[in-house]
Every structure is written in C-alpha cells, then in structure tokens.
Amino acid sequence: MNVQSLMARGAGFLGVEHGIMCGAMSWVSERNLVSAISNAGAFGVIACGAMQPARLAEEIVATQAMTSRPFGVNLITMHPQLVQLLEVCIAHQVGTMIFAGGIPSGAILAQARAAGMKIICFAPTLAMGRRLVRAGADALVIEGSEAGGHIGPVSLQVLAQEILPHVRDVPVFVAGGIGRGEAMLSFLEMGAAGVQLGTRFVCATECIAHPKFKAAYIRAQARDAMPSVQLDDQFPVVPVRALKNAATLRFMQHQGVVLRKFQSGELTKDAAQLDIEHFWAGALRRAVVDGDVEEGSLMAGQSVGLVTREQSVAEIIAELIDQANAALAARRDFASTLALG
C-alpha cells in the first residue's frame, strides 16, 4: 500500500492522479495557479470570490486554454449574482462546482445537478454534512479553524473525528493546517478521500501573488496567523485568519462602523455582512496583487510556518507524496522490527 492507494477514492472522484485539491483563495487561485495544479495531476479550483459573471467567464476560458485536465470553480453562496455565476459555469462546461460561505439553496443544487455537475459543499458539522448529502452534495470538504481566510470555530483534528467515521457514502476531503505529507497521510488513514491545501501553494512559482506577499509567508510563523475578532454576538461575522499587520486593526475599525450602521437600521444584516466581505476582497487584492503587505490582508493558515521557500507546484505535490510514502515505509520497517524482536 502507498499513499496513492489511500487517496484513490478522492482522485477518482475528481478525475485526477492525486486526491489533492487547491483551496479557493481570492486573487490567488486564478488561471496560472489553477492550471499548474491541474497539469501536475492534482485538482485546481478557481476562486470566484467577488467576480462578476463576465469576469468569471473570462477566467474559465483562460484556464481551459492552459490545461486540458479537470478543474473546478468555487462559488460563494451569498454572492448576489450566484444564479448567473452558476449559469456561466454551466455554459462553459465546468464539471465540478464547490459551494462555500453558506448552505446552497435546493434550487441552486438542483440546477447544478441537472447540468451534470459534480457538487462539493463545505460541512461544518456532522449534522450539516448529512443534510448536504441528502440535498444532493456528491462530496464534502471539512475545514478546520487552522485554515486561512474564512474559518469555523473547530479544529480539523476534532472535525475529522466527528465526521469521518460517520460519513462514508460520499468522499470527504479535509482541509486546514495541512502542510506536510505525514499530516496528509494521517487523515487519509482516518478515512478522508483526499485533502485540500491552500497556504502551501501560495509560494508556488506559478502563483501570481506579489513577491512581497510571498516573502511575508516565508518569514511568518504559525502563531502569526491569527483569526479576526467579532465585536458583537448579535452581528455574526465569520472570523478570518490572516497574518497580523495594520490591516488587522483597520478591519476592526471597519467592522465597528458597519455594526453601528446595522444597529441603526441603515443596513440590513445581509447588506452589512456583504459590506464586510467587500472589505476583505479589497484588502486581499491590495496585498496579493499590489504587494501592500501592511495595509492589505495577508490571509494565511497556520501551516504558513511550514512554507519556507518558493517551489514549483510539481515540486510541492511530489514532496507531499514522498513525505507520506516515507512515513508509511517507516511504519512498515518498525512493524517488521517488532515482529522479528
């Protein structure tokens, strides 16, 4: 047995060689990184984020020109043009849709299923995972709080124990804090069909992120990636994990302004939360594209401490596979030594 056999279910579902998905990172998971990951035998995912339909269509077409291998598109369920974005994906024959940021409606799931798409949804709890499978999800992602960007409150170690033993009818991919092959192996042995990594791919040579953004990753330690703080329990804001900088303080100030507008009735809850999302989209672009690592958002998972240099996508994937297989071989050798002793 090797790690490829352990991730065979996930790889088969995605139609790729390795059961490794790339996390959808706005401004990062675009045509260059997505096509490189798919061409290397893993599964690239376009991060739609706040894109408009015409912009998403452009990105899909450009990615299809750079790879003939499967890739997916991640759509945020709270996007006001979600239906139009899905229609763009259907028109351009995207085979796999990943819905994030909330529970997709039955109508959206039905539309994707009618188009023959594979549907992947994020499950924050066992109960929600079961509900999503009943609603039509073909696979799930469980993402721990170690991840970068928008996060839930529970670590992957706990989510994996809660969900993996009980959800067997669809493939389950795990995400959050995975930076080495040994960690990947441990979750595959627990029953995961594959893994999703984001932070590990930011410093790929094919990634268009600004050199200053990549340098911030390479300098950072795990403890530098901290979640944002919610100001008021009555105004829920999904925490965002990012490297601490001036933008962290600026977000707290912005959140306070939006909270007051919500409390005064100037903004509805949906409009206020969308305002928060627009803040992050703009701040992230400032860092990733413009290289403003002080005023821009440095979204990163805690595995950022394991990012020590720039490497090609192919090198990153090969390193993960080699580490996992080496760990398996070491276990076999240890078991043989015990048997002989």
Domain with CATH 3.20.20.70 in the chain: 3-208
- Tell me the C-alpha distance between 72 and 60, whole Å: 9
- Domain spanning 3-208: CATH superfamily: Aldolase class I (3.20.20.70)
pLDDT of residue 60: 98
- Tell me the C-alpha distance between 81 and 79, whole Å: 5
- pLDDT-derived band at 341 (thresholds 50, 70, 90) equals low
- Tell me the C-alpha distance between 113 and 133, whole Å: 13
- Tell me the C-alpha distance between 149 and 129, whole Å: 21
DSSP 250-309: HHHHHHHHHHHHHHTTSS-HHHHHHHHHHHHHHHHHHHHTT--TTTS--B--GGGGG--S
pLDDT of residue 28: 97
* Residue pLDDT, tens place only, 81-99: 999 999 999 999 999 999 9
pLDDT of residue 102: 87
pLDDT of residue 339: 73
* Residue pLDDT, tens place only, 207-252: 999 999 999 999 999 999 999 988 887 777 888 999 999 998 888 8
pLDDT of residue 107: 95
| pTM of full prediction above 0.85 | yes
Please give the residue that has the higher pLDDT: either 102 or 166: 166
* Residue pLDDT, tens place only, 135-167: 999 999 999 999 999 999 999 999 999 999 999
